[in-house]
Structure 1
């Protein structure tokens, strides 16, 4: 058995980001907008918020816990904080959701204003690589490690049931410095490897966040051959970034979108799965509770996962305030166990519940905890059936 496989029950986890408490958001807003704040108070507030969150995760029945990504305002700010060679470009057009936004302009005008973009403590600003990439996040990642390990210890959680998310090379920014995209992604990969090694070196799992892989297959300017090459380039860079790290210490995560919306213009799991499974990870997390994708579990009727690898399908969604019924969650879990075995399925969420640091998250923080409780109840129902004495 590998470290992420089940032994006598279905394990539960989630994807990382959780709604931040408002006292922490107030301090983060001051810090990242270059306003006066007390660093000691900030550090104490952050450590307490992580401890409270881990305790709540355990109380709700989450087995594999994390820090809620409480130290990170969002992907792009995180990149600027931990990597040299990038500058923010407020007027740079973001590629995400292009087809979707064009098809539903009235919906997304309101959505971006009130939900995804409206309550961020730091504006969501794309970043561009303008010089040599160099990792500078040593102090920041060590703070994350210390906070989550202290919180886990206080909650009675062993280190190997703790994870920290970190971005993939594909999620870092736009290249204007390196001669080729391949050179750029490989340079980013080599530097991010330093953060990954720090996390795994602390004895905890690392979640490799790559929500950008499926986007390749809906990019309007790419033909089929270009899509294939770009996906291969992502995989190559991912494995460079993960070089020297035991796969059993890595969870790969991808998703199709972070929002509630029509979600018509998304890749399918069959398009992505072949590339996912080439990445050197011990488990693979993906959306499976999203009603646009729930049926795609059938792909594992033909796609066989290697020995010792674990699937972590979403059995609760991050884009709805409806709390899933435990019986439905159990059904979702068992669809996968029938195809890949009970030891190889970990119950998870589709994506994070606060990918940006927001005062108002799409799913209310009180509902998140109820979803986690329902996931544990559903996992217990599935466990009882799967490990029933004959």
Structure 2
């Protein structure tokens, strides 16, 4: 694992990425890794997952029948099993976390990367299992936040940036049959739980990421960013990462014509997407960056990716790995083009 982290950091630098990560090499899955980090969780086959693509599946049944046979859960080489909270939550992943921090530190040193610019992702409270123990969902999510705060603080104390990953915020609005009032209330609860976990941590060291999950599909039920942007900006972070390269969301840069970016905050819109094997042209990436720079200021924009390229190690990747690295090459070149134009 130490060698894998060293390799992935070195490759990021070779492909022009300035802000590197460990590639989540120690995490078997975006959801599943918390099983080793938190006590009080159990695997319960058949328990189900909080949200599905049901609306999309009903609208495009032929597409999703074929898609799920080959991709995501249908294409996995090992079963993805739901986690259920059956007892008090405690943090028990100190050894695994220390290994992650040591491996990334060693990889940064070997690649000549400033540790303070590297980041480690950690799951938001909303992504941790299904509650069968606590008296209310609010009590449960705050208990998750209290436990995960150990991991959040350790990442920052080690000198790295913390990225809180929360695709589940958008899923409330995209894939549930809740009323608009209940969706709003639950979204606010998610954000309050995140901030509870982040208490005492300098927001300057925190990135918040939300997206619409891995799904190379029609995506017509994705909630507009306008419906959630105020919730995103309530998270006590400095950098906000979100989908912007996906064709369902590229137009949403217009949102910042009316929404004021709070002082000291930075946008990291996705310039390359995880939902297509097309490699974005560097000139298009530059244009995208310049649009945001004109609206919120050139110092307040960082080129990012819509999302990671897989959420489970057991998934067959939807984007071919060679294509992924070509996307990163385009990202770096597009950022250079935009920077040259914006600072001349």
Give the shorter-chain TM-score range.
Answer: over 0.9
Matched, 1:72 2:31: no
Counterpart-to-counterpart distance in 2, 1:255 and 1:110: 24
**Alignment CA distance shift 1:323-1:128 (3 Å):** same
**Does the CA-based 8 Å contact 1:317-1:350 persist in structure 2?**
yes
1:57 equivalent in structure 2: 12
SS in 1 for 2:228: helix
Query: Alpha-carbon deviations, 1:286-338, whole Å to 9, x = none?
Result: 00000001101111111111111100000000111111000000001111000
Counterpart-to-counterpart distance in 2, 1:117 and 1:226: 28
The Cα shift of 1:219 comes to 4.1
Counterpart-to-counterpart distance in 2, 1:314 and 1:254: 11
1:42 equivalent in structure 2: none
Counterpart-to-counterpart distance in 2, 1:280 and 1:332: 26
SS in 1 for 2:41: strand
1:250 equivalent in structure 2: 206
Where structure 1 has 5 or more consecutive residues not aligned to the other structure, the ranges are 1-45
**Alignment CA distance shift 1:210-1:299 (3 Å):** same
Structure 1 segment 318-333 matched on structure 2, within 5 A: 318-333=274-289
Counterpart-to-counterpart distance in 2, 1:218 and 1:269: 11
RMSD: 1.2
The Cα shift of 1:185 comes to 0.6
Counterpart-to-counterpart distance in 1, 2:229 and 2:134: 29
Counterpart-to-counterpart distance in 2, 1:354 and 1:371: 15
1:3 equivalent in structure 2: none
SS in 2 for 1:117: helix
The Cα shift of 1:119 comes to 4.6
The Cα shift of 1:170 comes to 0.4
The Cα shift of 1:87 comes to 1.3
1:301 corresponds to which of 238, 252, 257: 257
Query: Alpha-carbon deviations, 1:255-284, whole Å to 9, x = none?
Result: 012110011111110001010000000100
Counterpart-to-counterpart distance in 2, 1:84 and 1:108: 35
Counterpart-to-counterpart distance in 2, 1:201 and 1:49: 23
The Cα shift of 1:224 comes to 1.3
Structure 1 segment 170-185 matched on structure 2, within 5 A: 170-185=126-141
1:268 equivalent in structure 2: 224
2:43 equivalent in structure 1: 88
Counterpart-to-counterpart distance in 1, 2:279 and 2:321: 12
**Does the CA-based 8 Å contact 1:326-1:374 persist in structure 2?**
yes
SS in 2 for 1:285: strand
Structure 1 runs of 4+ with >3 Å offset:
118-122
* Of 220-229 and 103-112, the range deviating more from structure 2: 103-112
Structure 1 segment 47-196 matched on structure 2, within 5 A: 47-94=2-49, 95-196=51-152
Counterpart-to-counterpart distance in 2, 1:314 and 1:325: 14
1:23 equivalent in structure 2: none
Counterpart-to-counterpart distance in 1, 2:193 and 2:127: 11
**Alignment CA distance shift 1:328-1:307 (3 Å):** same
What TM-score, normalized to structure 1? 0.86
Query: Alpha-carbon deviations, 1:25-50, whole Å to 9, x = none?
Result: xxxxxxxxxxxxxxxxxxxxx11111
The Cα shift of 1:106 comes to 2.5
1:40 equivalent in structure 2: none
The Cα shift of 1:105 comes to 2.5
* Of 353-362 and 170-179, the range deviating more from structure 2: 353-362
